[in-house]
């Protein structure tokens, strides 16, 4: 579950300044008249004004009990309601009617199904390049607001990234797998299967993070990447060096070489020497230290 604080989903701040109260929660004369015409008591008047100002600020309806007390008191004083007046609804039908009045006044559409579809499309599109749930939720929020729709509850957005990311990542993985040749797949598996004497796989060595920007660290990283490349090809470093020497001795007189000739020659040398089996080269392990 993604923390709402890590996203741009609208919510009340823990500390609201006097300037923010005046700027965002002061009802205008027209708004007060509109609310007075639509209600029949102080409690409903205060509740309707709070829903209006909260929606204008956040783009969604908070539960009245979630509206900070300082906001309730500020609006109550602004419209000169008696002290102790609380925003209450005696019936859910009245609250639903008032939400409809607010939507009509601010010009927003209530279509939770369409809002979810827009959010899902935007997350699916961006999940190929972004992986953090908070980033995907923020993009979905932006698209729903751009469509002029009321925001669904945060739980709706929170559930989408995990499911969609899994589907997108599976699709990416299958696409890569299908484009690889059998030889490439075997080489990839070899990174996980072959181990050093201490049990470390080539894959574990490859994924170690690089160290600071020093020349010795750069050489160590280059050595580690080279070991991984050779391991995927089924070679050890001394075999690759022999392949390079064979290539240099042949020169240009041998004619154009085919891709993979160096690897084939190194394998033939290995067969002649009777060298085989798993295990990494000490030089590779030294490069990790």
What b-and-e string marks burial along 244-256, b requiring 16 or more CB atoms within 10 Å of the CB?
eebeeeeeeeeee
Q: What string of DSSP letters covers 138-156?
A: HHHHHHHHHTTBPPPPHHH
Whether the Cβ atoms of residue 262 and residue 243 lie closer than 8 Å to each other:
yes
In the chain, what percentage of residues exceed pLDDT 90? 42
Q: Given this model, what pLDDT does residue 8 score?
A: 86
Separation between Cα atoms, residue 262 and residue 246, nearest integer Å: 8
> Tens digit of pLDDT for each residue in 206-249?
777 777 888 888 888 787 777 666 655 555 544 444 444 444 44
Average pLDDT value for the chain: 81
Any idea where the domains of the chain sit in the sequence? Answer: 4-106, 112-178, 195-287
Whether the Cβ atoms of residue 161 and residue 133 lie closer than 8 Å to each other:
yes
Q: Which of 62-76, 110-124, 147-161 has the lowest mean pLDDT?
A: 147-161
> Tens digit of pLDDT for each residue in 25-41?
999 999 999 999 999 99
Phi-psi region of 255 (alpha: psi -120 to 50; beta: other; left: phi over 0): left
- Please state the rounded mean pLDDT for residues 119-138: 91
Secondary structure of the chain: what % helix, strand, coil (to 5)? 65, 0, 30
Q: Given this model, what pLDDT does residue 234 score?
A: 53
């Amino acid at each position: 579950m993604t923390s709402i604080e890590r996203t741009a989903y609208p919510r009340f701040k823990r500390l609201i300044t006097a300037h923010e109260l005046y700027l965002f929660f002061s009802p205008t004369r027209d708004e007060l008249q509109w609310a007075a015409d639509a209600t029949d008591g102080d409690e409903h008047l205060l509740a309707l004004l709070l829903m209006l100002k909260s929606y204008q600020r956040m783009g969604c309806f908070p539960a009245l009990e979630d509206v900070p007390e300082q906001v309730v008191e500020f609006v109550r004083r602004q419209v000169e309601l008696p002290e102790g007046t609380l925003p209450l609804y005696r019936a859910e039908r009245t609250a639903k009617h008032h939400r409809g009045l607010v939507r009509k006044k601010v010009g927003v559409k209530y279509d939770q199904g369409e809002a979810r579809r827009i959010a899902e499309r935007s997350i699916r599109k961006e999940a190929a390049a972004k992986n953090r749930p908070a980033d995907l939720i923020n993009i979905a929020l932006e698209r729903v607001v751009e469509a002029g729709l009321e925001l669904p509850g945060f739980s709706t957005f929170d559930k989408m990234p995990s499911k969609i990311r899994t589907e997108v990542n599976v699709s990416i993985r299958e696409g890569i797998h299908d484009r690889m040749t059998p030889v490439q797949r075997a080489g990839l598996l070899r990174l996980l299967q072959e181990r050093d004497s201490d049990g470390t796989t080539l894959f574990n060595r490859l994924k170690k993070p690089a160290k600071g920007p020093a020349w010795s660290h750069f050489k160590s990283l280059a050595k580690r990447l080279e070991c991984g490349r050779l391991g995927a090809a089924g070679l050890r470093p001394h075999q690759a060096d022999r392949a390079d020497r064979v290539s240099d001795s042949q020169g240009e007189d041998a004619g154009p070489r085919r891709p993979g000739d160096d690897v084939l020659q190194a394998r033939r040398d290995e067969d002649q020497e009777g060298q085989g089996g798993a295990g990494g080269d000490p030089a590779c392990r030294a490069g990790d230290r």
